[in-house]
């Protein structure tokens, strides 16, 4: 998630898993997700109903505008949890219900006119519900440099551009590549390929995982690309590797 996001669950089950946390919510629940994170989302229909969710993106320029209009002082550097389930109350439940018609009739011109007001309403209700969210929402400082080694070892399996890894660790692309080379002794793309293939070998050999069930989770775009890369490194295709005693 590049921007801070509020997720409202209309029907079905929403599950988000990051490197360190797992959140799940069903109808009527809300999750606030802080900007600049990587995560895997699972969308599960329940009880024969279609899966439906409402995603409200709280972009920084909009939050800055709200801070000016409401005379909210920018928050301190936020160091708390990056994601949190929002406890429900009458105000938030009423807001939740009020948003649904705009989503279901998104082609109506009124949705654009009222959209900004609804986002502002969401922010003010969140602050009313959890006053401590001020730092969460209004910390506009640049991301500080994260521990690059720890971050990459936890997030290597996400299939995102190198530029995104650089941004999420608080570095320019050039700075990211320079720091990466110092830590890992090779270029980012080469290391990602090696690390993902070693993890695949471990899962196939020690966890008896099927190649067709793991390649996407390890950041490979297709099964054929994964199989070709695996064979090039280990001398056997992942399917043969699984069948042959090691």
For 23, the enclosing helix (H) or strand (E) is strand 22-25
* 128 lies in some domain: yes
Assess whether 153 and 132 both reside in one domain. Answer: no
Please identify, among 116, 138, 160, the residue that sits at the C-terminal boundary of a domain: 138
The two three-digit tokens of residue 74, written as one number: 């920018």
Sheet holding 83-86, edge to edge: 52-58, 4-11, 30-33, 83-86
Judgement on whether residues 50 and 125 belong to the same structural domain of the protein: yes
Q: Structure pTM?
A: 0.69
User: Domain end: 138, 171, 204, which one?
Assistant: 138
Reported as a single tens digit per residue, the pLDDT across 61-86 is: 889 888 878 888 876 788 889 999 99
Q: In terms of domains, do 109 and 166 share one?
A: no
What's the structural domain count of the chain? 2
pLDDT tens across 19-39, in order?
889 999 999 899 999 988 888
Q: Is residue 143 part of a domain?
A: no
Q: In terms of pLDDT, which residue wins out, 182 or 106?
A: 182
Model confidence at 183: pLDDT above 80: yes
216: phi then psi, degrees, rounded to nearest 5: -70, -40
**Tokens in use for 79?**
């160091």
* Domain of 159, in residue numbers: 148-243
Q: Is residue 197 a contact partner of residue 233, using CB atoms and an 8 Å limit?
A: yes
Average pLDDT of span 206-222: 92
Domain boundary at 83, 103, 138, which? 138
- Both 41 and 131 in a single domain? yes
- On the question of pLDDT at 152 being above 70, the answer is yes
CA distance 107 to 105: 5
Q: What is the CATH number of the domain that holds 189?
A: 1.10.10.60
DSSP 3-state of 184: helix
pLDDT of residue 113: 62
């Amino acid at each position: 998630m590049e921007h801070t996001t509020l997720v409202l669950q209309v029907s079905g089950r929403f599950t988000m898993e990051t490197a360190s946390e797992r959140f799940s919510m069903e109808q009527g629940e809300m999750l606030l997700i802080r900007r600049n994170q990587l995560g895997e989302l699972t969308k599960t229909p329940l009880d024969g109903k279609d899966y439906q969710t409402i995603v409200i993106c709280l972009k920084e320029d909009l939050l800055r505008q709200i801070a000016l209009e409401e005379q909210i002082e920018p928050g301190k550097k936020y160091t708390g949890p990056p994601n949190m389930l929002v406890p429900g109350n009458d105000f938030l439940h009423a807001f939740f219900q009020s948003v649904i018609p705009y989503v279901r009739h998104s082609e109506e011109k009124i949705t654009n006119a009222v959209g900004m007001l609804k986002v502002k309403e969401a922010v003010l209700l969140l602050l009313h519900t959890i006053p401590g969210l001020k730092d969460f929402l209004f910390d506009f400082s640049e991301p500080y440099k994260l521990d690059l080694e720890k971050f990459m070892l936890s997030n290597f399996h996400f299939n995102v551009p190198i530029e995104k890894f650089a941004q999420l660790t608080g570095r320019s692309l050039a700075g990211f590549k320079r720091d990466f080379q110092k830590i890992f002794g090779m270029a980012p793309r080469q290391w990602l390929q090696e690390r993902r293939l070693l993890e695949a070998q471990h899962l196939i050999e020690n966890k008896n995982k099927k190649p067709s069930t793991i390649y996407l989770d390890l950041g490979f775009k297709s099964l054929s690309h994964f199989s070709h890369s695996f064979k090039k490194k280990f001398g056997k295709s992942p399917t043969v590797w699984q069948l042959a005693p090691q």
